[in-house]
Amino acid sequence: MASTVLQFRDVSVVRDGNSILDGVTWSVDSDERWVILGPNGAGKTTLLQIAAAGMHPTKGTADVLQESLGKTDVFELRPMIGFASTAMARKIPRNETVLDVVLTAAYSVMGRWNEEYEAVDLRRAQRVLKEWGLEGFAERRFGSLSDGEQKRVQIARSVMTDPELLLLDEPAASLDLGAREELVGLLGGYASSPSSPAIVMVTHHVEEIPNGFTHAMLLAHGGVVAAGPLDDALTSDTLTETFGIPIELSEASGRFVARAA
Ligand SMILES: Nc1ncnc2c1ncn2[C@@H]1O[C@H](COP(=O)(O)OP(=O)(O)OP(=O)(O)O)[C@@H](O)[C@H]1O
């Protein structure tokens, strides 16, 4: 049975006097896969940081994996959350092998020192690498990989610990068309599996929404324009309101295309 993994009630974030999120009420269940869309500066990454237990709301309450932020030990919560973002990727040592980048997630560290890894972790890392199309890359240095390969390694690392919530901040940013389609295909397979965790993915492009995603939230100026099942929340009208220009949305075989109307 599905359980609630995120419950935001009237969440606001104020930084340096600026309102970054404004009264966001949102709930995510374990069997849901959400995409978050919105213009630059809308507050998408800030929303994800709260979901990652990396930041508290200024106002309102946020429950993450049924623990209330501010009343729980976030260091116990964070290992249950997979998070892949460019900011985290920058912390990965370039000379680390792909296998170690993924394996070290099991020990909540970045960069291998002298940990003795268990055989069970090694087997899991090898399985995860295979799932994300990285067979044969285990001994390669992270820094020697293409952008597309590096993105897949980041996601493989973030699912290594079998998280209950997976957060992806622009996973397809900067990828060429082939690499994007490969990643969107892999994410679609993962999102469609009933054994996968709840997923929240931030993206700038509706073309990057994989099959298997179920819900969307559209954010503008820190506020929710639309949120709910994909077909209701993601429409030409809601995109037009969110981005402030007339937009036409079309869909074919579960994939989306948007352009100025
Ligand atoms: N620590 C901070 N202090 C002041 N302003 C901040 C801080 N962090 C973020 N902001 C501002 O909050 C707004 C929302 O930022 P956020 O990164 O959440 O937006 P975003 O929707 O992810 O944007 P983008 O699509 O450009 O990545 C931006 O205007 C940003 O400049």
Ligand 1 within 6 A of 201 CB? no
| pTM of the predicted protein model | 0.94
pLDDT at 2: 85
Ligand 1 within 6 A of 139 CB? no
Q: Which residues of the chain have pLDDT under 70?
A: 107-116
- CA dist 130 and 182 (Å) reads 14
The ligand 1 atom at the shortest distance from the C-alpha of residue 48 is 18
Please tell me the residue having the least CA distance from ligand 1 atom 1: 15
186 CA distance to ligand 1 middle (Å): 29
Question: Do 188 and 212 contact (CB within 8 A), yes or no?
Answer: yes
- CA dist 43 and 63 (Å) reads 18
Domains of the chain (ranges, CATH numbers): 4-260 (3.40.50.300)
12 strand-pairing partners: 59
Tokens 């820094």, residue located: 143
pLDDT at 104: 85
pLDDT at 112: 59
| Type of residue found at 156 | A
pLDDT at 96: 93
14 strand-pairing partners: 19
- Tell which one of 18, 21, 203, 205 to mutate to probe ligand 1, the residue whose CB is within 8 A of the most ligand atoms: 18
Ligand 1 within 6 A of 44 CB? yes
pLDDT at 87: 84
27 CA distance to ligand 1 middle (Å): 22
Average pLDDT for the chain: 93
203 CA distance to ligand 1 middle (Å): 15
Q: What are phi and psi of 202, to 5 degrees?
A: -95, 135
Burial, 252: exposed, middle or buried (Cβ in 10 Å; 0-12, 13-18, 19+)?
exposed
Q: Kindly give the pairing relationship between strand 247-252 and strand 255-260.
A: antiparallel
